[in-house]
Amino acid sequence: MANVNAAASGTFAIGGDLSVHRLGYGAMRITGDGVWGEPKDVEGAKKVLRRAVELGVNFFDTADSYGPAVSERLIGDALAPYAKGVVVATKAGLTRPGPNKWEPLGRASYLRQEVELSLRYLKVERIDLWQLHRIDPKTPLEESLGEAVKLQQEGKIRHVGLSEVKPHEIDQARKIVKIVSVQNQYNLGDRQHEDVVEYCEKNGLAFIPWFPVAAGKLAQPGGKLDEAAKKHGATVSQLSLAWLLHRSKVMLPIPGTTSVKHLEENVAAASVKLSDAEWAEIEAAAK
């Protein structure tokens, strides 16, 4: 595993000034069942985070609602003071009434409270990338993102992103604050947000696909993805990640795991290369 490094995934400058390796780490899974409470192995979770940095991962994505607070706190405990170039993105705008339960809340006072807590848990003076986790249908977007503008002016947030949005919502948001990233569900087998990927490409925004590994029929033994994986001495998961990196230069996949071995396997996906013809065959099978 000595030659495995996230640097092989290439770089992208979020907001034009935050250069990160495109293959990052999503920190939702370093919590308890239902994204609720502490993980079964706290020290193991910290070990995964530290190993990710050793493997060249310098983009970590979390949220105040993961745990809640558990994921951010573990990142702060494991990685602060941060190695040079490490970027931690977090999100706010969801409340957690219980395991696997999520409710949007975009009131300005709530978002400000969450940002203050994120700063404390992550042990940073400024959040490099803060993302509105969901647009709250009960709160005007001008209120939610207007508060983000104030927090930017106060030096508590550097860049602002969105999560689970459509192009018209990104347009609306950009009238209030500069948007540098969008985080939507997207993978080889689930491309319902293709229009958003194209929007991000056209406008130079980072696209952060969550649930990045293809599942379902596409990933089954004997399928086109499995066939190509065997041919290249890779796993289906690695090919799923490699496809995302191939799909667009603005793509920043953030696979998550609680296992060092699985982490190393994910990062190795950065070095998996297929020809355009091979990718075309896989994409055709996915459709």
Per residue in 247-275, pLDDT (tens digit) is 999 999 999 999 999 999 999 999 999 99
DSSP state of 6: G
Choose the catalytic residue: 66, 82, 186, 199. 66
| Nearest-5° Cα angle at 229, 224 to 230 | 100
Q: Residue 248's pLDDT is what?
A: 97
Could you tell me if residue 287 is inside a domain? no
Q: Kindly state the helix (H) or strand (E) to which residue 115 belongs, with its residue range.
A: helix 108-122
Task: Note down pLDDT in tens along the chain; length 287 residues.
Answer: 458 999 999 999 999 999 999 999 999 999 999 999 999 999 999 999 999 999 999 999 999 999 999 999 999 999 999 999 999 999 999 999 999 999 999 999 999 999 999 999 999 999 999 999 999 999 999 999 999 999 999 999 999 999 999 999 999 999 999 999 999 999 998 999 999 999 999 999 999 999 998 666 777 888 888 889 999 999 999 999 999 999 999 999 999 999 999 999 999 999 999 999 999 998 888 87
Beta strand 94-95 with 103-104 is: antiparallel
Could you tell me if residue 234 is inside a domain? no
Q: Residue 1's pLDDT is what?
A: 46
Task: Determine the length of the chain.
Answer: 287
For helices 141-153 and 167-174, angle between their N-to-C axes, nearest 10 degrees? 50
**Region for 56 from its dihedrals, namely left if φ exceeds 0, alpha if ψ lies in -120 to 50, beta otherwise:** left
Domain CATH for 28: 3.20.20.100
Are the C-beta atoms of residues 109 and 141 closer than 8 Å to each other?
Answer: no
**Region for 122 from its dihedrals, namely left if φ exceeds 0, alpha if ψ lies in -120 to 50, beta otherwise:** alpha
Could you tell me if residue 68 is inside a domain? yes
Cα Dmax for the chain: 55
Could you tell me if residue 153 is inside a domain? yes
User: Residue 215 is encoded by which pair of tokens?
Assistant: 């599942």
Could you tell me if residue 237 is inside a domain? no
Provide the number of structural domains found in the chain: 1
Beta strand 59-61 with 87-92 is: parallel
Q: Residue 215's pLDDT is what?
A: 65
**What pTM was computed for the model?**
0.97
Q: Which domain holds residue 81?
A: 6-212+246-257
Could you tell me if residue 28 is inside a domain? yes
Could you tell me if residue 174 is inside a domain? yes
Core vs surface per residue 222-246: b (16+ CB within 10 A) or e: ebbbbebbeeeebbbbbbbbbbbbb
Dist. CA 21–CA 55, nearest whole Å: 11
The reply to whether 66 belongs to the active site is yes
Q: Is 270 helix (H, G, I), strand (E, B) or coil?
A: helix
92-to-114, 140, 187, 232 alpha-carbon distances in Å: 6, 16, 23, 40
Looking up tokens 């409710």 gives: 103
Q: Compute how many other C-beta atoms are within 10 angstroms of the C-beta atom of residue 283.
A: 15
Could you tell me if residue 221 is inside a domain? no
Per residue in 178-206, pLDDT (tens digit) is 999 999 999 998 999 999 999 999 999 99
